[in-house]
Amino acid sequence: MARVLVTRPLPPGSLEPLEGHDITILDPWAAGSSALAEVVRDLAPEAIVCTLNDRIDAGVIDAGTTGRGRPGRQVLGRQVLGQQVQGQQVQGDGSRLRVVANVAVGYDNIDVAAASARGVLVCNTPGVLDETTADLAFALILAASRRTSEAEADLRAGRWGGWALDGYLGRDVHGATLGLVGFGRTARAVARRARGFSMEVLHHSRTATGVAGYMADLDSMLAISDIVSLHVPLSIETHHIIDTRRLAVMKPSAVLVNTSRGPVVDEAALADALAEGRIFAAGLDVYENEPAIHPRLLAAPHTVLLPHMGSASTATRTAMARMAAEGAADALAGRPPAHLLR
Ligand code: GLV
């Protein structure tokens, strides 16, 4: 039996693969990585199951691999498969962190290099959230193009004076040219939906895909796309991939949608482009400094803003949590997790 730290409550049943292990669930978890490092040092877990808003940096990894578990310290709350035992005393026994399982496909919250250097496995949850995230990307494509958020806000606030020929004029989605930045599983799922809307689908990725619609030059694709949807992981290369210059390359009638990671867009530049009418609209689910939202984005016209909910269906979040638990259980049993990151 190994000690497992789960950084927040997960959907019912999703921790079954870890049954038999000593599971501590932090509830609620809203602290930064230095506080998490403290908990990890105290608890000395062999596995951590975390979510994308837990920063698993070198400090946390070090705490798990060099900390020895200080006897008699309190953790925030303790739950062993459903039984809450508040303020339980934990006893360190010198065990060592072996695996970090992220309940997310994106893993920019984890310093994988630091983990690998210390022999800690890292795994994620690819494949189970693509369709659900593509649904939400399409919801943003439709909502931003057709201005549904501002129209509904007017209606609710009593500002709607009745049908008008020129009321809430937006951009057509059907027949539009869609430019996908990145062409992984979620982008392909968006492309499948786009075909049902008679859209022309283009895509750009670092390596040629061999699929019709591939454009090696990102700027050329941005220049001819009516709608641009971002599907790249966050990395040094993709940070601010959409910046002032690329926004200027886009059509003034263009709609930008982001369901990947906030920092791939320069939010200040996007807010300026929207305010000055240099692009038509934006639909965002992710932000540079979540949960803070850039104040100029909040004020920008033609903007649909959602609270990072791309994979938020009950079925998908349960599948993600279970997959992460399976990864942790595999590592604890000495088997390589199915979705190991290096
Ligand atoms: C969600 O944003 C994920 O990366 O799983």
Tell me the C-alpha distance between 228 and 231, whole Å.
10
Which atom of ligand 1 has the smallest separation from the CA of 260?
Answer: 2
Asked if residue 52 lies in contact with residue 104, where contact means CB atoms within 8 angstroms, the answer is yes
230 Cα–ligand 1 center, Å: 13
What is the DSSP-derived secondary structure letter of residue 215? -
Residue type, 240: H
Which atom of ligand 1 has the smallest separation from the CA of 311?
Answer: 1
| Sequence-separated (6 or more) residues with CB below 8 Å from residue 37 | 59, 60, 62, 63
Tokens matching residue 163: 């049908």
Q: What is the pLDDT of residue 87?
A: 39
Tokens matching residue 324: 């992460």
The DSSP string of 249-307 is HS-TT-EEEE-S-GGGB-HHHHHHHHHTTSSSEEEES--TBTTB--HHHHH-SSEEE--
Q: What is the pLDDT of residue 67?
A: 61
Residues with active-site annotation: 261, 290, 308
Asked if residue 125 lies in contact with residue 102, where contact means CB atoms within 8 angstroms, the answer is yes
- Please write the tens of the pLDDT for every residue from 297-326: 999 999 999 999 999 999 999 999 999 999
327 Cα–ligand 1 center, Å: 16
Q: What is the pLDDT of residue 30?
A: 56
Give me the sheet containing 121-123, strands edge to edge.
22-25, 3-6, 47-50, 99-102, 121-123, 340-341
What is the DSSP-derived secondary structure letter of residue 127? T
Q: What is the pLDDT of residue 27?
A: 73
Q: What is the pLDDT of residue 342?
A: 87
Low-confidence stretches of the chain (pLDDT beneath 50): 71-92
The residue whose CA has the least distance to atom 5 of ligand 1 is 104
Residues with CB under 6 A from ligand 1: 52, 104-106, 129, 310-311
Which atom of ligand 1 has the smallest separation from the CA of 308?
Answer: 2
Q: What is the pLDDT of residue 32?
A: 63
293 Cα–ligand 1 center, Å: 18
The residue whose CA has the least distance to atom 4 of ligand 1 is 106
- Cis previous bond, 291, omega within 30: yes
| Sequence-separated (6 or more) residues with CB below 8 Å from residue 244 | 266, 269, 272, 273
312 Cα–ligand 1 center, Å: 10
**Residue 261 — φ and ψ, nearest 5°?**
-140, 140
- Please write the tens of the pLDDT for every residue from 151-186: 999 999 999 999 999 999 999 999 999 999 999 999
23 Cα–ligand 1 center, Å: 24
**Residue 257 — φ and ψ, nearest 5°?**
-125, 135
**Residue 320 — φ and ψ, nearest 5°?**
-65, -45
The residue whose CA has the least distance to atom 1 of ligand 1 is 104
86 Cα–ligand 1 center, Å: 30
Probe residue for ligand 1, chosen from 105, 130, 259, 286 as the CB with the greatest number of ligand atoms within 8 Å: 105
Please tell me whether the overall predicted TM-score, pTM, comes out greater than 0.85 for this model. yes
Q: What is the pLDDT of residue 89?
A: 42
Q: How many CB atoms lie within 10 A of CB 139?
A: 19
Probe residue for ligand 1, chosen from 133, 234, 286 as the CB with the greatest number of ligand atoms within 8 Å: 133
Which atom of ligand 1 has the smallest separation from the CA of 102?
Answer: 5
Closest listed residue to residue 75, CA positions, set 61, 60, 87: 87
Tell me the C-alpha distance between 198 and 319, whole Å.
32
Asked if residue 186 lies in contact with residue 130, where contact means CB atoms within 8 angstroms, the answer is yes
Tell me the C-alpha distance between 203 and 200, whole Å.
10
Kindly give the pairing relationship between strand 340-341 and strand 121-123. Answer: antiparallel
Q: What is the pLDDT of residue 281?
A: 99
Identify the burial level of 147 via C-beta atoms within 10 angstroms of its C-beta, where 0-12 means exposed, 13-18 middle and 19 or more buried. buried
Q: What is the pLDDT of residue 68?
A: 59
Closest listed residue to residue 25, CA positions, set 103, 139, 96: 103
Q: What is the pLDDT of residue 69?
A: 56
Tell me the C-alpha distance between 68 and 258, whole Å.
42
Tell me the C-alpha distance between 176 and 237, whole Å.
28
Q: What is the pLDDT of residue 79?
A: 43
102 Cα–ligand 1 center, Å: 9
Closest listed residue to residue 55, CA positions, set 9, 104, 96: 104
